[in-house]
Structure 1
Amino acid sequence: MTLVVVAATILLGVAAKATGSGLACEANWPQCDAGPFNLLPANIPSFYEWFHRFVAMFAGFAIIGSAIAAMRLPNIDKRVAALVVAGMILTPIQVVLGRETVTQYTMDILALHFWTAVLIFVLFTVATVLVWAPRLTSTHVSAALALGAVSVPFHVALSPLVIGDITSYRPSIQMAQYAVTLALLAAVIVATMVGRRHFESNRLTALLSGTSVLAVLTIFLGRRAVMTFNPALDYIYVAVAALLLVVFVVGIQLVRRTASRSSGAL
């Protein structure tokens, strides 16, 4: 549940940025621009910013609650507890960065705010996989790689490079691309972690690890290309994304072959 709320917070943050609502609420924080004590939104742009903050508040409570539960419950894996506690430590930092995007809006602060949110998402995704690890099989590795292979073309197709004019990069398209981004991250985390658990092939585990590196590069370059409008970055982004797609496809084939050999040996 916490993972879902964290993902929702990220996407709502993207919506606030894409609609130009980040400096709505008359640039007040944590208040807005209407209602008692200026706590409520006065217009649609303010609503986007206000609703992002509202959901982020619940995400913060969920993160803190998860960390407290992980520390107190005796049957929780120590690795899971460490991950969610790390997420809890990052939460106040993320809150401060969120405030700074309102009080002194700069691209560097905005980037830190985004990547901190992504890091929290990654920490909780890894923790979730660890919790479910005993029930995850090689089939889930193939499914995760397939999800990654599907996500890559969509990630590129939803970018301004394919859409064309940057003015056509509407808020709904931006939200869709970032939803694909989160799906891509989750896919490589599941594939890498579960693959290492089930397969002993060095070539396969190295390939699975490579998907993580290439996925992060794809996401980083795609975001930089949008933020800087640099044609050179566009070409590098597409090249890395194409390589990632090839690695996903090869990974699916290797996982299926390795799994079939293992079942045949039994």
Structure 2
Amino acid sequence: MSTDSYTSRPVVRPLIERFGFPQLLATTLVLVAATILLGVAAKATGSGLACEQNWPLCDAGPYNAFPANLPSFYEWFHRFVAMFAGIAIIGTAAAAWRLPDVDRRVAVLVVMGAILTPIQVVLGRETVTQYTMDILQLHFWTAVLIFVLFVVATVLVWASRLTASHVTGSLVLGALSLPFHVALSPFALGDITSYGPSMQMAQYAVTLALLATVIVAFMVGRRRLQSGRLTAVLSATAALSFVVVFLAREAVNPAFDTLYLASVAILFVAFMAGIYLSRSATAKARDGQAR
């Protein structure tokens, strides 16, 4: 091998060849989800306030290695995981852009996530230095957008291994998640003081699962099951899921309870319709192949 051919070899390729780009992308997605859930815990405990507007350090010396109390620990651990998530996002974007065999759509999605990452870091700092509801909302929805971008990219990368049965399975999982979403909400708990960090983390874990399932169902369903009615239902299901997530954020206000429950009920019906149509479309596709 010549020196020129060796030096022109992308430095990210040996790592990708060993572990695989799909695995790198999936790992990054898990880190993004973990960062969001830890951020929810930090918000629920008011942990940013424990740092007394100090950022990126807090109250325990270099790198806040020894947090002074539990709220400080939540904030420190959130920042710690977020740091690794940010590194993974940038690394995944670099790998996607430089590797010639990565779908350009995937590259664009993860690069968009990488562009949003420093914005998210700045918003994270502002939640500590200012802690206003507007900044908290921007911080949350930017994180959700990064999560969605990486879910879509992950589905594109794994698309060849996802079949029609995954559409029905995703819809079933989405339908099953809705009762848990309601049960973990302030509406079902009855007392806002019961909506503590554990409950909030659990509900937002269900929220991320809900968003992931509708994205998988929509993307794979449109690819594997060419049915106009199913595509319309899957589109409505995806849109309704984001409505449910938005209203769940506002459900601490009793004025939104009716809207939240109504949207959940409509979404559940949409899931049921999607399950029926996906099973019918899968059966027709199998009959066509058998003939």
Same fold (TM over 0.5): yes
Measure, in 2, the Cα distance between the counterparts of 1:157 and 1:244: 16
Matched, 1:263 2:286: yes
Structure 1 residues 251 and 54, CA gap change in structure 2 (3 angstroms): same
Matched, 1:232 2:255: yes
- Count of paired positions: 263
Measure, in 2, the Cα distance between the counterparts of 1:262 and 1:36: 60
Aligned to 1:214: 240
Asked whether the equivalents of residues 64 and 76 of structure 2 are also in contact (C-alpha less than 8 Å), the reply is no
Match for 1:4: what amino acid? V
How far residue 182 of structure 1 moved from its aligned partner, in angstroms, is 0.1
Aligned to 1:243: 266
| Per-residue Cα deviation, 1:38-88 (whole angstroms, up to 9, x for no partner) | 664222110100110010000000000000000110100000000000000
Matched, 1:72 2:98: yes
| Per-residue Cα deviation, 1:88-140 (whole angstroms, up to 9, x for no partner) | 00000000000000011100000000000000000000000000001111100
Q: Which runs of 4+ in 1 moved over 2 A?
A: 35-40
| Per-residue Cα deviation, 1:187-226 (whole angstroms, up to 9, x for no partner) | 0000000000012211110100111100000000111122
Asked whether the equivalents of residues 52 and 128 of structure 2 are also in contact (C-alpha less than 8 Å), the reply is no
TM-score (norm 2): 0.88
Asked whether the equivalents of residues 25 and 42 of structure 1 are also in contact (C-alpha less than 8 Å), the reply is no
| Per-residue Cα deviation, 1:221-241 (whole angstroms, up to 9, x for no partner) | 111122xx1x23110110001
Match for 1:162: what amino acid? A
Q: What RMSD over aligned residues (CA atoms) do the two structures have, in Å?
A: 1.1
Aligned to 1:171: 197
Indicate the SS of the match to 1:22.
Answer: helix
5+ residue gaps, structure 2, are 1-26
Match for 2:145: what amino acid? L
Matched, 1:252 2:275: yes
Aligned to 1:199: 225
Q: How does 1:1-266 map to 2 (within 5 A)?
A: 1-36=27-62, 40-226=66-252, 229=253, 231-266=254-289
Identity of aligned residues (%): 71
Asked whether the equivalents of residues 53 and 130 of structure 2 are also in contact (C-alpha less than 8 Å), the reply is no
Indicate the SS of the match to 2:251.
Answer: helix
